[in-house]
Amino acid sequence: MSKWIRWSGLIAFLLLTALIATFYILFADSLIKNAIEKKGTEINGASVDVAEVDISLFPLGISLSGLQITDPDEPITNIVDAAKVAMHLDFYQLLNRKLIISDVIMEKVQTGTQRVISGKIDKRPTKESSDSSPSSESQKTIEPASNPTKMDLPDVNEIVSQEQLQTIEQIDALSADIQAAEIRWKSDLENLPNSEELKKYKDIISDLKKVDYKDLKNAKKKLKELAKTTNQLKNDFTEIRKMSDDFSETYDSFKSRQELLRRAPQEDLTRLKAKYGSPGLMTEEFSKQILGPSLSAKIDKAITGYRRIDKLLSSRNRTKGDDSKVDRSKGVDIRFEEVDPIPDLLIQLVSISAFTSIGTLAGQITDISDDQVIYQHPIRFTFNGDELNQASELNVVGKIDRTQPDISSDSIHVKIEDYLIKGLTLSESSDMPISIETGKADIDISCVLEDGRLQSEIRIDFGSVQFSDQGLDNSNELNRTVHTVLRDIPSFQIRVTVTGTLDNPKTSVESDLDELLKAATTKVLEDKSKSWEKDLESALATQVSTPLSEIDDQINGVDAIKKDLEDRLKSAEKLKSYF
């Protein structure tokens, strides 16, 4: 019998087996744990932690305890926290360098749990503020009354002092023209004879007409001087008449512009009322302006989460005809045609039991693969909860489809019935905080993303609602009025539509609250607006009164020139008989 057994070979085999078993017992769990944490952190962009790893050989499987995946945007929070994750692997496919997992069971899954230590990693770039605009204190500007949460209209004194008033611009232009004309007229008058000098023409001409024709030489001299003086008188008369006509035309223009200035403040008032005093707009789109910011924040967060999933899928899929250059030193994996092709990574079924704020959810995710083009099965997921503590029913159905090269077709539908509301904040605005103390809601969310085009609708029907007065500012009349109206509203609807692209989503918010609040606040807003308009008119009148008075003084100064010119013209006309 001993001849059939090579004891040296048997002993060597037993020693090798013992070494492999010892290595497996001592190091396999820790090596796999480190590999999962390292690769998971690299993919997630924030820490992935595993408390314990257990490997089973028959059947081949891995069990993870205390799996925590950090939220990259909030490193102190876990986006996934699972008490236990168990999976079974296909040993044969592992030999072919394919990771095929037949089933995964995730137990006691939670989201949003707090971490003891931040999961932020140094390699992940921190978000930088995109606000490169100058400090608001560096340049003070007045904003129109478009804030629906306030009833306070802009300060009228600040408006009239900082606005470029058309009245002031017209006054400045008229003042400059009068000043220039006055300088020109005074210069022209200095070159023309005044009334006294014109009267002397009569004596001079009368004296020159006394000619003694006996003395021909003297008579000829006097006649020559008479002709010269007569021509000079005629020229002076012509220049005075010309200046008088020019003066009359310009003066009439100044008087017309002065009259128009009387109406300019009213035009400024109309313009400023339209620009700054539009309180009627405050309730036209109340739901959009009040509820929009908080809804937009939630939509942005959902898009961020979707982008993470999309990035993982896109990085694994190579599209057909991808001939991009590859570093020769690194090479590229070439996939040869297979009879029954399967992707390198495939998780056929994930079963999840999740603890949420509304109760325990059961879910399944099927056909998670790194190359849907090969596998030709989209990722599908369903979650539901029947025995919930905050809702009567919850259903989630969706898919992520990358089965066609360069084409994506993703969708999700969420339906929640009789969701119990406790302390739900609708508006976080410090000026108009609105929250629901208690109530119920039926929520229906439908979202489709086809080739980058987004079409989403969120419909929420609220019932048995009691609004909270927490944060109510009794000094804010609009705030007080809105809360008074809300107390008598037991039910309402909110409808949100999101279209466009992920890079440029366009959100529309509608609610039947708009009409209810508009009807209730219109009277209050109208009264406030009328009072503000009176104050604005008074402030505007004060702002332009002095400049208008100065224009009147300038016109009166021109009247003195007018009288002087009229006197000269009358004196000259009396001498017309002399030429």
Taking the C-alpha atoms of residue 229 and residue 203, their distance in angstroms, rounded to an integer, is 11
Q: Which long-range contacts (CB under 8 A, 24 or more apart) does 376-384 make?
A: 376/403, 377/403, 378/402, 378/403, 378/409, 383/352, 383/354
| pLDDT tier at 280, thresholds 50, 70, 90 | very low
Cβ atoms of 413 and 435 closer than 8 Å: no
Flag whether pLDDT at 323 surpasses 60. no
Closest to 414 measured CA to CA, from 449, 456, 359: 456
300 vs 367 pLDDT, higher one: 367
Give 92-108 pLDDT, tens digit per residue. Answer: 887 778 888 899 899 98
Instruction: Determine the pLDDT at residue 282.
Output: 47
What phi, psi does 111 have (nearest 5°)?
A: -125, 150
Q: Strand runs (DSSP E) across 37-73, as ranges?
A: 48-56, 61-71
Mean pLDDT confidence for 196-220: 67
Token pair recorded at residue 62: 């891995």
Going by DSSP bridges, is the β-strand pair 99-110/345-356 parallel, antiparallel, or unpaired?
Answer: parallel
Helix locations, 209-350, DSSP H: 216-261, 264-276, 286-316
Q: What is the pTM of this model?
A: 0.59
Hey, which residues does 345 pair with through a beta bridge?
99
What is the gyration radius of the CA atoms in the chain, in angstroms?
46
Taking the C-alpha atoms of residue 547 and residue 554, their distance in angstroms, rounded to an integer, is 11
For a pLDDT cut of 90, what percent of the chain falls above it? 18
137 vs 447 pLDDT, higher one: 447
Beta carbons within 8 Å of 92's beta carbon, 6+ residues apart: none
Flag whether pLDDT at 228 surpasses 60. yes
Cβ atoms of 536 and 156 closer than 8 Å: yes
226 vs 141 pLDDT, higher one: 226
Mean pLDDT confidence for 386-391: 83
Mean pLDDT over each residue of the chain, to the nearest integer: 79
Taking the C-alpha atoms of residue 23 and residue 19, their distance in angstroms, rounded to an integer, is 6
Taking the C-alpha atoms of residue 255 and residue 260, their distance in angstroms, rounded to an integer, is 9
| pLDDT tier at 132, thresholds 50, 70, 90 | very low
Taking the C-alpha atoms of residue 331 and residue 430, their distance in angstroms, rounded to an integer, is 58
CA-angle at 238, arms to 236 and 241, nearest 5°: 105
C-alpha dihedral over 13, 16, 17, 20, to 10 degrees?
A: -160
Going by DSSP bridges, is the β-strand pair 393-404/505-511 parallel, antiparallel, or unpaired?
Answer: unpaired
Q: Omega into 59 within 30° of 0, i.e. cis?
A: yes
Mean pLDDT confidence for 211-221: 65
DSSP 24: I
Q: Is 125 helix (H, G, I), strand (E, B) or coil?
A: coil
Flag whether pLDDT at 122 surpasses 80. no
| pLDDT tier at 485, thresholds 50, 70, 90 | confident
Range with the poorest average pLDDT among 21-35, 225-239, 379-393: 21-35
Please name the helix (run of DSSP H) or strand (run of DSSP E) that holds residue 442, with its range, or none.
strand 434-450
| pLDDT tier at 417, thresholds 50, 70, 90 | very high
Give 340-379 pLDDT, tens digit per residue. Answer: 778 888 889 999 998 887 888 899 999 988 888 888 899 9
Q: How far is CA 153 from CA 51, 136, 385, in A?
A: 59, 19, 50
Taking the C-alpha atoms of residue 344 and residue 403, their distance in angstroms, rounded to an integer, is 15
Instruction: Determine the pLDDT at residue 383.
Output: 93
Mean pLDDT confidence for 465-476: 76
Give 327-341 pLDDT, tens digit per residue. Answer: 555 556 665 666 677
Instruction: Determine the pLDDT at residue 173.
Output: 93
Q: Which long-range contacts (CB under 8 A, 24 or more apart) does 421-424 make?
A: 421/462, 421/465, 423/468
Taking the C-alpha atoms of residue 423 and residue 439, their distance in angstroms, rounded to an integer, is 9
CA-angle at 244, arms to 238 and 247, nearest 5°: 140
Instruction: Determine the pLDDT at residue 215.
Output: 63
Going by DSSP bridges, is the β-strand pair 505-511/492-500 parallel, antiparallel, or unpaired?
Answer: antiparallel
Range with the poorest average pLDDT among 211-215, 287-291, 409-413, 536-540: 211-215
Closest to 463 measured CA to CA, from 412, 512, 396, 521: 512
| Per-position DSSP letters for 369-434, written without gaps between them | ES-HHHH---EEEEEEESS-SS-SEEEEEEEEEEEETTEEEEEEEEEEEEEEEEEEEEE--SSS-E
Instruction: Determine the pLDDT at residue 464.
Output: 92
Q: Is 83 helix (H, G, I), strand (E, B) or coil?
A: strand
Instruction: Determine the pLDDT at residue 4.
Output: 58
Q: How far is CA 172 from CA 166, 251, 261, 265, 544, in A?
A: 10, 17, 11, 14, 11
Mean pLDDT confidence for 200-204: 70
Mean pLDDT confidence for 213-226: 67
The string over 3-13, giving b where at least 16 C-beta atoms fall within 10 Å of a residue's C-beta and e elsewhere, is eeeeeeeeeee
Mean pLDDT confidence for 482-500: 86
Q: Is 418 helix (H, G, I), strand (E, B) or coil?
A: strand
| pLDDT tier at 67, thresholds 50, 70, 90 | confident
Beta carbons within 8 Å of 558's beta carbon, 6+ residues apart: 178, 181, 182, 185, 251, 254
Instruction: Determine the pLDDT at residue 44.
Output: 79
Hey, which residues does 356 pair with through a beta bridge?
359
Taking the C-alpha atoms of residue 242 and residue 489, their distance in angstroms, rounded to an integer, is 80
Flag whether pLDDT at 64 surpasses 50. yes
Closest to 62 measured CA to CA, from 87, 44, 41, 79: 87
Flag whether pLDDT at 555 surpasses 70. yes
Instruction: Determine the pLDDT at residue 18.
Output: 57
